[in-house]
Amino acid sequence: MEAVLDEMNVSLSHDLIVEVLERFKHARKPAFRFFCWAGERPAGFAHDSRTYNSMMTILAKTRQFETMVSLLEEMGAKELLTMETFTIAIKAFAAAKERKKAVGIFELMKKYKFKIGVETINCLLDSLGRAKLGKEAQVLFDRLKERFTPNLMTYTVLLNGWCRVKNLMEAARIWNGMIDQGLKPDVVAHNVMLEGLLRSRKRSDAIKLFHVMKAKGPSPDVRSYTIMIRDFCKQSSMEAAVEYFDDMVDSGLQPDAAVYTCLITGFGTQRKLDTVYELLKEMQEKGHPPDGKTYNALIKLMASRKMPEQAARIYNKMIQNGIEPSIHTFNMMMKSYFMARNYEMGRAVWEEMVKKGICPDDNSYTVLIRGLIGEGKSREACRYLEEMLDKGMKTPLIDYNKFAADFHRGGQPDIFEELAQRAKFSGKFAASEIFARWAQMTRRRFKQRFTED
């Protein structure tokens, strides 16, 4: 790769580096090789905070913590550290349940003379809460609360942390603590509690809280209504969902694309497609055209009903309206075609995704590999498996029995040994062990079959 890039003699810019890294955000290994190659140019280019942070984001998603720490130190030496850098690191460690490493970021901030204020602490508490580490967030808060003055956001993120793990008793304690500190819960805090109650299947309590908001304040906002409507739609209580929608409009609030998407999903699940199309028309008329999430919801609906052609029509409409499809869009469409055994169109979706410059993720590869195995093209599937390993991705969940059977029939029992070696070379030791086990089983079965013959 580096030799080809050298020959191209490209004029590097920070914007170009960021764009390339964005394109390869699911392919850690080539992304990092490109990043290192760019940083080693003889003259005329040096990474800045933006390019470092882009690479940090990719490493964070794939939990490459040692490399992340090396980059942090490198950035520190070059005086390129920003608050965004620390936020990326804090969120990554928190999401991986690495509480000590997340807290250690504070020490790093001190080392490089960064001010640690309430906003920074709130960011860490929020990251822990979103990673369903409400208890860890609370422990950290109790340890640090003497060193800063908590604000309304501090209590709100703690509340969110406990609600995400469905611990309503602790959530209630935080709510009361907020009030004891003279802080009045705002609509954001109320919305967090609404979601927490619904997540814990306390719908009647959520409805009571919603009516208290209407009677005593803070008045429900569009987000409050969306939370309630989404839950009714999930439970197929469409009559109640429409009732809340009408109440929202009567309250003078303008419904947005998110609310309409909830209703479209709800009615779509009930196969009331006429109502779905009426809602789409209403969205346009009200000046809230479908967004990417709306189109994805429609594509998912058509895919689940094994109607890939309809999904493709929605995709084309999405493109016509200037909305860029996400990787999720392509994954759903590809899966839909493979489920309908239209393998040619399934592969065509893959090609379209690559053509648009969207880097396939783990799920994309898994869908494609399963489709190829289903089509009996295990040799081609094997090529994509190797590609995944080269990119540093996880081993996909596929039907290894079918995969092994195809290679039995083709008289190629050694394929898993090759994959085991490839995985080991790529540093994917867990994957290597999986393939080694399959190699052993395949050899045994092939030997038995040969003996019988």
Task: Count the domains in the chain.
Answer: 1
Choose between 250 and 390: higher pLDDT.
Answer: 250
Could you report the per-residue pLDDT of 381-405, keeping only the tens digit for each?
Answer: 888 888 887 787 877 776 666 666 6
Query: What's the predicted TM-score (pTM) here?
Result: 0.77
State the pLDDT confidence band at 233, using cuts at 50, 70 and 90. Answer: very high
Mean pLDDT calculated for residue range 340-364: 89
Per-residue model confidence (pLDDT) at position 399: 65
Residue 6 lies in a domain: no
The C-alpha atoms of residue 238 and residue 236 are separated, in whole angstroms, by: 5
| Mean pLDDT, the chain, integer | 86
State the pLDDT confidence band at 448, using cuts at 50, 70 and 90. Answer: low
Per-residue model confidence (pLDDT) at position 127: 82
Which domain, by its residues, includes 400?
372-453
Per-residue model confidence (pLDDT) at position 145: 83
Residue 328 lies in a domain: no
Residue 443 lies in a domain: yes
Residue 429 lies in a domain: yes
Phi-psi region of 358 (alpha: psi -120 to 50; beta: other; left: phi over 0): beta
Residue 452 lies in a domain: yes
pLDDT reading at 417 higher than 80: no
Per-residue model confidence (pLDDT) at position 408: 56
Could you report the per-residue pLDDT of 272-300, keeping only the tens digit for each?
Answer: 989 998 998 999 888 888 999 999 999 98
Residue 132 lies in a domain: no
Residue 376 lies in a domain: yes
Of 3-12, 36-45, 388-397, the range with the lowest mean pLDDT is: 388-397
Per-residue model confidence (pLDDT) at position 228: 97
In the chain, what percentage of residues exceed pLDDT 70?
Answer: 91
Per-residue model confidence (pLDDT) at position 182: 94
State the pLDDT confidence band at 90, using cuts at 50, 70 and 90. Answer: confident
pLDDT reading at 204 higher than 70: yes
Could you report the per-residue pLDDT of 142-186, keeping only the tens digit for each?
Answer: 888 888 899 999 999 999 999 999 999 999 999 999 999 999 999
